[in-house]
Amino acid sequence: MASQTYNAGDIQVLEGLEAVRMRPGMYIGTTSSRGLHHLLWEIVDNAIDEASNGFATEITVTLHKDGSASVYDNGRGMPVDTHPALGISGVEVIFTVLHAGGKFNNENYDYSGGLHGVGASVVNALSRELSVDVFRNWTHYRMEFTSRINPKTGKVEAGKPSGPLQVLGNTRKKGTLIRFMPDDTIFEDVRFQTETVARRLQELAYLNKGVQITFTDERLSGDERSRVFRYEGGISDYVLYLNTGKTPLREDVIYLEGRRDTIICRAAIQYTDGYTESLFSYVNNINTPEGGSHETGFKAAFTKCLNDYARKAGLLKEKDNNLSGEDFREGLTCVLTTMVKNPQFEGQTKGRLGNSEVRPAVEAIISQQMTDWLDNLKNQDTASAIVAKAIKAAQAREAARKTRDNIRKASALEAAPLVGKLASCTGRKWEDNELFIVEGDSAGGSAKQGRDRRFQAILPLRGKPLNVEKKHLDQVLGNEEFRSLITALGTGIDENFSLSNLKYGKVIILSDADQDGAHIRAILLTFFLRYMKDLITNGHVYIGMPPLYKVQKGQKVIYAYDDRELGKATKAAGKGYTLQRYKGLGEMNPEQLWETTMDPSQRKLMRVSIEDAALVDRLTTVLMGDKVEPRRDYITEHADFNRPDDFELPDQPAQEGGM
Ligand code: 1YM
C-alpha cells in the first residue's frame, strides 16, 4: 500500500515505476510476447472485476492501427476524488503508485487474481503513452501519462502524468476507458496477436455469464475485424463448446453452484461417449492446468456422491468394489471455477492452487449440490447412464492392466526387436540425452549415422502410428510402434506414468515437412497429450525443424526453413545459385541431416507447450476424433498448408542456437 505521508509517498511513486522499467521481468514475468499480452490482461481484469461485481455489463477491447490497445467498461468509472493520504486523484494513485495495484483496501476487489496483482501502474510504467477517460458523475475526466527519457535531464521518466486530471465536459456515459501504447524499447515484439486476444476474451466471456465482450482489431478488415462474445449459459455453454466434435452421452449439462464463507464454486459437466477426461479448472478466472486444492475437493466429492448413488440404486452390489475416480471421469468434460480470496498459486508454472482451506469448501459445495442433482427424479436416466459408463470403464481398466502385465512378462522376449529398432546413446546424464523419433526407416538410417551417439538416440517409426484419440489403453498398448516408444522413454504410461524414470531430457519429433509428416506429428502429440501429459507440461517434447530448401553457390550453402528465409537466402546468394527443395528427411544424407536438423548449435527446435489446455483439447478432438463434419469445417476455415502454424497447437518456439 501507499505510504502515509504525501512527500514520502511522492518519492516512492517515482522510484517505484522506474523500478518496473529496470526489471520488467520481476513484474510481468517476461518481456516476450507473453509479457506484452499480460499488460492487456491486467487492464481487462479490472474491467471484468467491475462486471463481476455487478456494475458493468459491457466491455470492449480494441487493437488499434497505431499498435496501441484500449479497454472500456460501462461500470462506475475509476474514482476521481482526492486520495486523503496522498493528496492526488484516485486515478493518479491507481496509475502511479506501485503495488497499490489500483486496488484500495476494498472487499470487492479481493477476488481479483489480477495479473498476480501487479496492477494498472505496471502497465503505465511499461507503456510509452497511456490515457484514461473516466465517465462518472455525468462528467468526462481525462488523464494522460508518458514514459520517456527526459531530453533536458537525460533521466528516465516512467508513467509520469503529462498534466493534471482534466474535466472535459458533461457526458451521459458511464465507465472507464484506458488506452495504452506498449513501449517498444521494453518488449521484444509489440504486436498484439489477434487470436491470442480473441481466445482469452472468449474464455472470459464463458467464465463470466452474461457479460458482453466486444473485440475489434482495427488492423483487420472484413468479418474478422469485430467479434462479440456473450454467453447467457456461462460455463455450461463453455462445456458444450468444448464438446463440439464429441458425441454427448446425454444432452443435459449438469450445473452445480454454491458458496461456503467467501469461497464460491461453480461446475458444469457433460459426459461424452469418449474415453478421455477433460477437466478444466479456474481460480478467479485464471486457468489452473496443474490442478490444486479446488480440483482435489471436486474430485473427492464427485466420486463419493456417484458411488453412494450407485449403491443406493442397486447398480453396485454389496460384494462389488467402489468405482474409482478415474472410472467416473472417463468421457467427462467439466469446467470448474472457483473464486478465492488471496489465492496462492504454486508449481513450476504457477498453475496449481495451494490454499488448503479451499478443498473442504469445494468438497462440501459439490457434495451437497451433486446429491441434490442425483436425488432429482428427472435426472435418473442420466445418472444411471453415468454409472453404467463408469462400470464399463472399470472393466476396460482391468483388461488394460492384464495386457500391461502380459507385456511386462513378455518383455524379456520382446526386448530383442525393440532394441533392434532403437539406436540408444552412450551418455549417462538423462537430462542431456535426446531421443529423436524419426519418420521412416530411410531417414532413421541417416539419423543414426549422422547423430552424435554420445547423447542422441534414434527411434525410427515405420509408417503411421495408431491414432490414439478414442482408443482404449489396451489398444494403444497393443500397438508395436507405441510399445517401442514407451519402452524407450522408460516412463510408463497413463496412471503409471512417472517422470522420474524418463531417460531423455528432450524428446524430439522429426517428421517430413509435408501433410503426411504433419499427420504423424499430430498423432504423436495426441499420444503424448492423452497418455503422457506431464512430458509436455514439463517441457520435454520438441518438434525438430528440417530445412525446406538448400541454396548453393559454389562452396557456400544456405539452408532455408521457410519461404521467407528462402527469399533472404536467394537474395544473399545473388545470381547463379542452385536451389534444392527437400521433399522429405530421406533426401538428406547423414551429414546434411546432422548439420541442418540435429546439431544443437545450428538446428531449430520448437518446444511444445500447452498454453491453452482447453483449446488444445478441443482441437485435438476436432482434428483427431471420429466426427468428420467438425473436422472438415475446421480445416476449410483455417487450413493453409503453406503456413507452418496452420496446425494450431500453440507451440512456443524455443529458439535453440538459432540460424
Ligand atoms: C478498462 C478498465 O479499470 N474499471 C474500473 C476500475 C475501478 C472501478 C471501476 C471502481 C472501483 C471502486 C469504486 C471500488 C477501480 N477502482 C479501483 C480502486 N476498467 C477499469 N471500474 N469505484 C470504481 O473498488 O470501490 C481500482 S480499479 F482503486 F479505486 F479501488
pLDDT tens, 372-405? Answer: 999 999 999 999 999 999 999 999 888 888 877 7
Number of other CB atoms surrounding residue 591 within 10 Å: 11
* 11-37 core/surface letters (b: 16 or more CB in 10 A; e: else): ebbeebbbebbeebeebbeebebebbb
Average pLDDT for the chain: 86
CB of residue 73 inside a 6 A radius of ligand 1:
yes
Q: What is the DSSP letter of 371?
A: H
Please give the average per-residue pLDDT across 572-582, as a whole number.
Answer: 89
CA distances from 67 to 21, 146, 297 (A): 20, 16, 44
Say what the pLDDT of residue 450 is.
94
* Residue owning the nearest CA to atom 2 of ligand 1: 47
Say what the pLDDT of residue 465 is.
80
* Residue owning the nearest CA to atom 18 of ligand 1: 103
CB of residue 103 inside a 6 A radius of ligand 1:
yes
218 contacts 63 by C-beta, under 8 angstroms: yes
Known catalytic residue at 381: no
How many A from CA of 120 to the centre of ligand 1? 10
Which backbone phi and psi does 612 adopt, to 5 degrees?
-130, 90
CB of residue 105 inside a 6 A radius of ligand 1:
no
How many whole angstroms separate alpha carbon 367 and alpha carbon 309? 12
Residues 5-38 pLDDT 10s: 334 344 344 457 998 999 999 889 899 999 999 9
Query: Measured from the CA of 178, which atom of ligand 1 is nearest?
Result: 1
* Residue owning the nearest CA to atom 3 of ligand 1: 46
* Residue owning the nearest CA to atom 4 of ligand 1: 47
Burial class (CB in 10 A: 0-12, 13-18, 19+), 429: exposed
CB of residue 176 inside a 6 A radius of ligand 1:
yes
Cα torsion 269, 274, 275, 279 to 10°: value is: -30
Say what the pLDDT of residue 636 is.
58
Known catalytic residue at 514: yes
CB of residue 109 inside a 6 A radius of ligand 1:
yes
How many whole angstroms separate alpha carbon 325 and alpha carbon 495? 12
Please give the average per-residue pLDDT across 613-641, as a whole number.
Answer: 68
How many whole angstroms separate alpha carbon 314 and alpha carbon 576? 82
Say yes or no to pLDDT of 651 above 70: no
DSSP strand pairing (506-510 vs 541-544): parallel
CB of residue 104 inside a 6 A radius of ligand 1:
yes
Please give the average per-residue pLDDT across 316-340, as a whole number.
Answer: 95
Which backbone phi and psi does 171 adopt, to 5 degrees?
-155, 155
Say what the pLDDT of residue 646 is.
33
**Of 4-13, 503-512, 621-630, minimum mean pLDDT range:** 4-13
Known catalytic residue at 217: no
Which of 294-303, 630-639, 646-655 is most confident? 294-303
CB of residue 101 inside a 6 A radius of ligand 1:
no
61 contacts 216 by C-beta, under 8 angstroms: yes
How many A from CA of 195 to the centre of ligand 1? 28
510, containing H or E segment: strand 506-510
How many A from CA of 99 to the centre of ligand 1? 15
Which of 42-51, 462-471, 533-542 is most confident? 42-51
CB of residue 178 inside a 6 A radius of ligand 1:
yes
Say what the pLDDT of residue 456 is.
97
Q: What are the residues whose beta carbons fall under 8 Å from the beta carbon of 275, sequence distance 6 or more?
A: 330, 331, 393, 396, 470, 471, 472
Please give the average per-residue pLDDT across 487-497, as a whole number.
Answer: 87
Which carries the bigger pLDDT value, residue 479 or residue 99?
479
End-to-end CA distance of the chain: 47
Query: Measured from the CA of 109, which atom of ligand 1 is nearest?
Result: 24
Q: What is the DSSP string of 584-648?
A: -GGGS-HHHHIIIII-TTT--EEE---SSHHHHHHHHHHHHSS-HHHHHHHHHHH--TTSGGGS-
How many A from CA of 4 to the centre of ligand 1? 21
Known catalytic residue at 474: no
Out of 217, 434, 512, 651, the active site residue is: 512
Helix, strand, coil distribution of the chain in percent, nearest 5: 40, 20, 35
CB of residue 59 inside a 6 A radius of ligand 1:
no
Say what the pLDDT of residue 1 is.
37
Please give the average per-residue pLDDT across 197-204, as a whole number.
Answer: 97
Say what the pLDDT of residue 116 is.
34
Query: Measured from the CA of 75, which atom of ligand 1 is nearest?
Result: 21
